[in-house]
Amino acid sequence: MHGEVSPESKSERAYTAIKTRIVEGSFTPGYRLVLAKIAGDLGVSVVPVREAIRRLEAEGLVTFERNVGATVSGIDPTEYLYTMQTLSIIEGAATALSAPLIDSVAIARARAVNGEMRECLEHFDPVRFTALNQDFHSILFEHCPNPHILDLVHRGWNRLATLRSSTFRFVPARARESVQEHDALLRLIESDAGADTIERAARQHRAATLDAYLAQVSAPPEPVPYSTQEENQ
Amino acid sequence: MHGEVSPESKSERAYTAIKTRIVEGSFTPGYRLVLAKIAGDLGVSVVPVREAIRRLEAEGLVTFERNVGATVSGIDPTEYLYTMQTLSIIEGAATALSAPLIDSVAIARARAVNGEMRECLEHFDPVRFTALNQDFHSILFEHCPNPHILDLVHRGWNRLATLRSSTFRFVPARARESVQEHDALLRLIESDAGADTIERAARQHRAATLDAYLAQVSAPPEPVPYSTQEENQ
DNA sequence: CGATAGTTGATCGTATACGATTTCGTACAT
DNA sequence: ATGTACGAAATCGTATACGATCAACTATCG
């Protein structure tokens, strides 16, 4: 048992391994990515790991500083804001472009997922709800014919995943509205509403979640021990 | 005595060097990026070059294939289409977000640039016109407060630069319309039109260039797959 | 007691070396 | 003449080695 043809390079494996741990949350924001450590864990040398980290850097999942090292990015609360805003635009467009290509089967699946979300509202589990939320939206934008846009949407979701906020943990009230808006969105798509209408609705849907979050964090008295300056609006 | 403290790593230098040559066009699409060659030219080893290429790969400027190598991407004409469509969305949003922050000085500068473009129409030089076009739009979106979006706009422009088509070489007729639309866009911004209006105008402006290009390259007047007919609602 | 210079350890940056894979040309057989 | 098999050259992938840099700690001086 030797020489199994490995279809993916070690660099690739390092990339997916690190990315997975970041997205799944075992590498939390701020986590220090030490090259030798990771290389050791994966049983490879540092060179492939370096390449992997360069890619992750270009994607914005990790922050890199010369002669210091890489850390999982996403601590900054303004980062969340920027990411959500960007995603509202990109995902809105992706959903609109995708809409004409969504068949009734996909609609039914989306509706089923949204049903689960509705059930989930009872004994509320923010993490599960967020996961379902991603499933739901994936169904809607995954048919987007423009691969660039689709890629940007995925990157946006990954970024959000690193922030691990589960958003809805902070604004549980928003969850209920969210489910309703999902239904409305599905109806729009089903009725072949104009791309413009769908785009606006999808963007608005996400923007509303962001607004709810912002309203929430600006009210409570407990300031975060890190940096809490900036962003007045 | 020893070399001046170099604030940037060789990896960094390799990155900017390669990127510059791609954007400036001395590395044309399809160009084969041989690691050892580049390393030799830059007087470094292959390791930093590999890292640089990984980053460029993640940005989409180069395409990478395992055990084969990297090539400057952008040969595919559909790539142009996808990039333009994506950019129309991103740049539209960036311009709209930027608009409220554009002061009269910037407006004046933009108007001056557009004046040069108008002059340029006489003895038409597509390359110069395209460069001015970038200057013009840069003034409009550069104030965008969301760094992610701004970054995406830059990446989009870079991608376009690699395709080096100068677009207007293919559709010179579009140049004249373009200048007029620029004026209209400036008027909208000056009059504090709604973000929505500005976004729509900016997006439409770029989409129209894309449509003109598509109409040009496909002689048979087929309904174009990804054009911008989405004004119904 | 506080501040600053020196020292040590951890970690990064890059070069070099060598095995692995692909590509392409050439010779041979049909 | 065409197709296949073999082999050599080019290029990539990864490991290892070592110098460079940064951060933390300690010791010494005021």
What digits encode the pLDDT tens for the residues A131-175?
A: 999 999 999 999 999 999 999 999 999 888 877 667 888 888 899
- CA A116 to chain CA centroid, Å, is 20
A34 Cβ nearer than 7 Å to chain C strand: yes
Look at B89 and A86 and tell me if their CB atoms are within 8 Å: no
Q: Which residue of B has its CA nearest to A85?
A: B146
What integer pLDDT is reported at residue A225 of this predicted model? 36
Q: Which pLDDT band holds residue B166 (cuts at 50, 70, 90)?
A: confident
Model confidence pTM above 0.75: yes
What integer pLDDT is reported at residue A78 of this predicted model? 84
What integer pLDDT is reported at residue B162 of this predicted model? 77
Phi, psi for A88 (deg, rounded to 5): -60, -40
User: In B, which residues are within 8 Å of A50 by CB distance?
Assistant: 47, 51
What integer pLDDT is reported at residue B227 of this predicted model? 44
In percent, the amount of chain A with pLDDT more than 90 equals: 70
What integer pLDDT is reported at residue B215 of this predicted model? 86
What integer pLDDT is reported at residue A5 of this predicted model? 54
Mean pLDDT of B43-57: 96
B68 Cβ nearer than 7 Å to chain D strand: yes
Mean pLDDT of B182-205: 96
What integer pLDDT is reported at residue A165 of this predicted model? 66
- Report the distance from CA of residue A176 to the C1' of nucleotide D5 in Å, as an integer: 68
Chain C footprint bases within 7 A of protein beta carbons: 11-17, 21-23
Which residue, chain included where needed, has tokens 């959903």? A95
Q: Which pLDDT band holds residue B219 (cuts at 50, 70, 90)?
A: low
Sign of CA dihedral B73, B78, B84, B87: negative
Q: Which of B85, B149, B232 sits opposite A146 (nearest CB)?
A: B85
- CA B58 to chain CA centroid, Å, is 17
* d(C-alpha A149, C-alpha A135), whole Å: 18
* d(C-alpha A187, C-alpha A184), whole Å: 5
Chain B residues 8-37 with Cβ under 7 Å of strand C are 9-11
Instruction: Assess B78–A contact: CB distance below 8 Å, yes or no.
Output: no
Mean pLDDT of B188-210: 96
- Residue B231 pLDDT > 50, yes or no? no
Burial B69-94 (b: 16+ CB within 10 A, else e): ebbbbbeeeebbbbbbbbbbbbbbbb
- Residue B53 pLDDT > 90, yes or no? yes
Instruction: Assess A90–B contact: CB distance below 8 Å, yes or no.
Output: yes
Over chain A (233 residues), what is each successive 10-residue block's mean pLDDT?
62 95 88 95 96 94 93 81 95 98 96 96 90 96 96 92 77 93 97 95 96 80 36 33
B69-115 pLDDT, tens digit each: 999 987 677 888 999 999 999 999 999 999 999 999 999 999 999 99
Choose among B108, B94, B110, B227: nearest CA to B150: B94
What integer pLDDT is reported at residue B164 of this predicted model? 65
